[in-house]
């Protein structure tokens, strides 16, 4: 019997502090930088984003999203035998945010305290991270290495933003999204397609590191917006078409496109190339901003809870991010 993986439940979490464009413009004005709601909306489609409070880490957001996904799946933390976290803003250098999440969920120990912790690790592919993590989990379930996985995207990008650079600090937000992926006799994830090209490292990066107790380089986000836009639209179309071909499907089979929520213009251009109406595109960038690895699972959960994405729908997930990385997943929900 062929073994498949299928999404059993979705969840998400946003920190309570909601920052509108007007709020951000007022903050930037105190730094002598000029921006406005109209300027941000026209260029990005973003109207608001959420920022964490002091001391709140990526694992704190991720554990809330994970609990919501577990509840939706009718599962308990102890049912999970694999945790993969996609993040570019981990709690610390090591251990992994996944290991910290495992502990916060209370699933690291077996009966009577015996060591029985499931595998837990992070995936770092920036805004493509959730697509990468979902692909890894799908492969592990299909080979029998896992039966029920938590796949989480969680980010606190507000910690790495340069608030003296209005071209980047208005784009990003914090949040987390998660899915429970489980073994199934029926196809769920139909096909995946992953890529990376390291020659584009410089167009989107945080060029800093820690050495000898000090930060070396620049630990704040840097982006060449025009270069990212030009590259993103082309590779997203290519990844989507490659994934459809692997699954023996066409654009007409897509009920919902859930792209990485980076910029409404990129999303519109991608939909146009795939001959999809924007009515079939899930859009949350206006309220969440770009939450990097969290954006796709956040948007998926929002669409599920709003009654848009329903059981039986065919969904295309696709992301593109620093690295330069990109990829897509086609699934029957």
Residues labelled catalytic = 127, 260, 290
Name, in order, each residue with C-beta under 8 angstroms of 112's C-beta and a sequence gap of 6 or more: none
d(CA 117, CA 103): 9
Cross-strand bridge partners of residue 143: none
Q: Tell me the torsion sign for CA atoms 126, 267, 67, 146.
A: negative
Q: What are residue 296's phi and psi, to 5 degrees? A: -70, -50
Contact between 269 and 328 (Cβ < 8 Å): no
DSSP collapsed to 3 states, 168-227 = HHCCECEEEEEEEEEEECCCCEEEEEEEECHHHHHHEECCEEEECCEEEECCCCEECHHH
Residue located via tokens 């071209």: 167
Q: What are residue 13's phi and psi, to 5 degrees? A: -155, 135
């Amino acid at each position: 019997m062929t073994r498949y993986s299928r999404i059993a439940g979705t969840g998400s979490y946003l920190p309570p502090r909601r920052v509108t464009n007007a709020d951000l413009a007022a903050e930037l004005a105190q730094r002598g930088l000029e921006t406005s709601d109209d300027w941000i909306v026209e260029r990005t489609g973003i109207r608001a984003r959420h920022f964490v409070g002091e001391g709140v880490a990526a694992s704190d957001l991720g554990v809330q999203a994970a609990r919501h996904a577990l509840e939706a799946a009718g599962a308990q933390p102890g049912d999970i035998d694999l945790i993969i976290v996609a993040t570019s803003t981990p709690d610390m250098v090591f251990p992994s945010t996944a290991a910290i999440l495992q502990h916060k969920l209370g699933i690291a120990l077996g009966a009577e305290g015996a060591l029985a912790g499931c595998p837990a690790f992070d995936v770092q592919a920036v805004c493509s991270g959730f697509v990468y993590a979902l692909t890894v989990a799908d492969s592990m379930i299909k080979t029998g290495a896992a039966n029920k996985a938590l796949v989480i995207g969680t980010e606190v990008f507000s910690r790495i933003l340069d608030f003296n650079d209005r071209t980047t600090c208005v784009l990003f937000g914090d949040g987390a999204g998660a899915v429970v992926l489980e073994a199934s006799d029926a196809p769920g994830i139909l096909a995946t397609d992953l890529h990376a090209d390291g020659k584009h490292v410089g167009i989107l990066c945080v060029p800093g590191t820690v050495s000898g107790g000090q930060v070396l380089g620049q630990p704040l986000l840097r982006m060449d917006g025009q270069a990212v836009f030009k590259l993103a639209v082309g590779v997203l179309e290519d990844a989507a078409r490659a994934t459809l071909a692997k699954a023996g499907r066409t654009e007409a089979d897509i009920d919902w496109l859930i792209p990485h929520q980076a910029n409404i213009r990129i999303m519109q251009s991608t939909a146009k190339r795939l001959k999809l109406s924007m009515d079939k595109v899930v859009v949350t960038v206006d309220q969440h901003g770009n939450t990097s690895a969290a954006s796709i699972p956040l948007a998926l959960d929002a669409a599920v809870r709003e009654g848009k994405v329903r059981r039986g729908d065919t969904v295309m997930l696709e992301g593109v991010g620093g690295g330069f990385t990109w990829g897509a997943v086609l699934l029957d929900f």
